[in-house]
Amino acid sequence: MKGAVLWLAIVAAGVATFAIKLVGHLLPRHWLAKPPVARVAALVTVALLSALVAVQAATSNGRVVLDARVAGLAAAAVALVVRAPFVVVVLVAAVVTALLRWAGLP
């Protein structure tokens, strides 16, 4: 994706996410406040974010690749366990991965 196509996708995705927020404000309360709806929505978020973790950490160009990123991610998990703030978690992953690459790992 580049240029005009990328812009178009950004605008379309922005409009879609705003429309989703607005729907919640406009629909009658009892339509969305059902436990099964809430459960499915929560699980969809979990599934998408978890799949994105995996794709971002362990794939390159359509292949599964295990490299320094996985170690960086493990370090981030440790940071989360000790309740580090979000920015620190992200930084820890970057620093550990960068150091391992500097030491010669792919």
Partner 1 sequence: MRQALSVAVATGLYGVSFGALSVVAGLDVWQTMALSLVMFSGGSQFAFIGVAGSGGSPGAAIATAALVGVRNALYGPQVAPLVEARGAHRLLAAQLTIDESTAVGTAQRDPTAARVGFWWTGAGVFLLWNVFTLLGALLGGAAGDPRRYGLDAAAAAAFLGLVWPRLADRAAQVVAGAAVVVALATTPVLPSGVPVLLAAGLAVLVGVLWRPDGAGVPRAVAARVSSERRSP
HSE, side-chain direction, 13 A CA sphere, residue 75: 18
Shortest CB 1 distance to partner 1, Å: 5
Number of neighbours of residue 75 by Cβ within 10 angstroms: 19
CA distances from 32 to 14, 22, 41, 70 (A): 22, 13, 10, 38
Closest distance of CB 79 from partner 1, Å: 8
Min dist CB 80 to partner 1, Å, is: 5
